[in-house]
Amino acid sequence: MEEREIIASVLQEVLDALPPPLRERLENVEFVVWDEAERGLGFVLGLYQGVPLPKRGLGYTFVLPDRIVLYLKNIRRIAPQEDEFRRKVRDVLLHEIGHYFGFGEEDLRRLLGEGG
């Protein structure tokens, strides 16, 4: 299976596994796969770009979609085997979706069982 197909499959699994109250609130967000991170970002696996739900006010209307970006080459560097790759894509997606919902880094580590 090709890498982008794996990512699409894992994304669907992640979205299907979200609790319904969260899944219903996940809107106006696009998921994008780029080969490499932009210059200056360093070694990142994913990035949430947008305004987290808790920070949106009444005037938050008619906006472009938020974006969750996965950086394919960086993920592949640390997860060369397909099963590792699928697991890492899942973790990165959950992490960035967490930012969409307003979770900070410490909250995300705790929720994903990474300690912290």
How confident is the model at residue 2, as a pLDDT?
93
Tell me whether residue 97 is exposed, middle or buried, using C-beta atoms within 10 angstroms of its C-beta: 0 to 12, 13 to 18, 19 or more: buried
How confident is the model at residue 113, as a pLDDT?
64
How confident is the model at residue 114, as a pLDDT?
59
Full-prediction pTM beyond 0.85? yes
Choose among 109, 106, 111, 38: nearest CA to 74: 38
Choose among 69, 112, 70, 73: nearest CA to 94: 112
What single letter denotes the amino acid at residue 47? L
